[in-house]
Amino acid sequence: MKGLQKIIWYLREYLAKEFVAGMYLSLALFLALAIVFNYSVNFESRILGNQLGKPGFFWMNMAYYAVPYLVGCLAVSLFTRNFSYFKKPGFWLVLGVFCFALSGDAFYNWYQLFDVPAELGYLTTKLTAKVFRVAFYLIPLLLYFLFVKKRRGGFFGLTTRGFDSRPYLFMMLVMTPLLIWASFQPSFLRAYPTYVFGMAERYLGVGHWVTFVPYELFYALTFMALEILFRGFLIFEMEKYLGEKVVIPMVVVYCTLHFGKPLMECISSIFGGFLLGVIALRTRSVYGGIWVHIFIAVGMDLLAFVQEEYSWASGKL
């Protein structure tokens, strides 16, 4: 129970200082409208996704992530009456690096670099996409760390100093039955596992596990990088401009990142992102967030994989 007590203490202490009812309600309304709009017209997949490979796709992605973050910042400014950071180049530099990191792999269909048999095309595409995504998440941060931050302090929360595993272990314990329940829902099984088995396994003459395990390792790396980007870089570098309210705009754009996922996953990302943001802010570490993020993401894939394997074995697929 100490893990639960720690989480409650972090949240109570943060909200006692930073909660502003009007700000939270206005952003809740904005996110509700954004979610309804996205899931009504399938904006992320049908509209934005249709621009894939076109010259303007990269800039559309930049705007797609910048706008919700700036909406969150505007809400903070309106209710704190502080607009000064909008005039600071450092604020825009951090936002630009963040949006570039999320949008960088939109430059090119990187999997086309490799000439492989058609039967291995899907597997190669999935693995290559993960590698380049991790690279684009982390390389801009590394350059910022070397040339702007000039190695002062740690690498955006990647530290074990002051790290307490108990809150995160409690979160994973609570999430386990919820993930198991979700794995039996049709909407969940339509989205997971994120890797589809087929030609590669038949071509190589191997079982599904042989391709699933390496894929999941690369998949897990993307969430490690994503956690450093959102709860490390975006929290700690924007804190100097937004103070401890830095968590709020991060949550807004984090929700946007989950458009295209099952609806309940998108909604839960608001609460999960807020909780992980507060804990990262208090502990100055992203290690626990990495644990939780990988546990949830890989866990969802693993549960769906087990369901699919059972269906194959029983002749349902």
Top-confidence residue, 152 or 286:
286
Asked if the model's pLDDT at residue 298 lies above 90, the reply is: yes
The total of other beta-carbon atoms located within 10 Å of residue 248's CB is 21
29-69: per-residue pLDDT in tens? 999 999 999 998 887 777 777 777 677 888 888 999 999 99
Collapsing DSSP states into helix, strand and coil, what is residue 259? strand
162-217: per-residue pLDDT in tens? 778 888 888 899 889 988 988 888 878 888 888 888 888 888 888 888 898 999 99
Q: What are phi and psi of 259, to 5 degrees?
A: -60, 135
Collapsing DSSP states into helix, strand and coil, what is residue 185? coil
Cα distances from 290 to residues 17, 55, 223, in angstroms, run 26, 34, 7
What's the whole-model pTM score? 0.91
Residues near 252 by beta carbon (within 8 Å), at least 6 away in sequence: 27, 30, 31, 68, 69, 71, 72
> What pLDDT score does 317 carry?
53
Q: What is the mean pLDDT of residues 244-258?
A: 96
> What pLDDT score does 312 carry?
55
121-138: per-residue pLDDT in tens? 888 888 888 988 999 999
Beta bridge partner(s), residue 259: 261
Cα distance from N-terminal residue to C-terminal residue, the chain: 43
Mean model confidence pLDDT for the chain: 88
Q: With bands split at pLDDT 50, 70 and 90, how would you rate the model's confidence at 115? A: confident
152-169: per-residue pLDDT in tens? 888 999 887 777 888 888
Contact of 293 with 226, CB cutoff 8 Å: yes
Asked if the model's pLDDT at residue 313 lies above 70, the reply is: no
Collapsing DSSP states into helix, strand and coil, what is residue 261? strand
> What pLDDT score does 196 carry?
85
Contact of 269 with 226, CB cutoff 8 Å: no
258-282: per-residue pLDDT in tens? 988 888 889 999 999 999 999 999 9
Asked if the model's pLDDT at residue 315 lies above 70, the reply is: no
Of 19-28, 105-114, 280-289, least confident by mean pLDDT is 105-114
Residues near 287 by beta carbon (within 8 Å), at least 6 away in sequence: 157, 158, 159, 160, 163
Asked if the model's pLDDT at residue 1 lies above 70, the reply is: no
Tokens representing 167 are: 């809150």
Beta bridge partner(s), residue 261: 259
Top-confidence residue, 54 or 89:
89
> What pLDDT score does 111 carry?
58
Whether residue 117 has a cis bond before it, omega within 30° of 0:
no
Separation of alpha carbons 166 and 182, rounded Å: 24
> What pLDDT score does 7 carry?
86
Separation of alpha carbons 292 and 170, rounded Å: 10
Asked if the model's pLDDT at residue 316 lies above 60, the reply is: no
Residues near 265 by beta carbon (within 8 Å), at least 6 away in sequence: 191, 258
Whether residue 193 has a cis bond before it, omega within 30° of 0:
yes
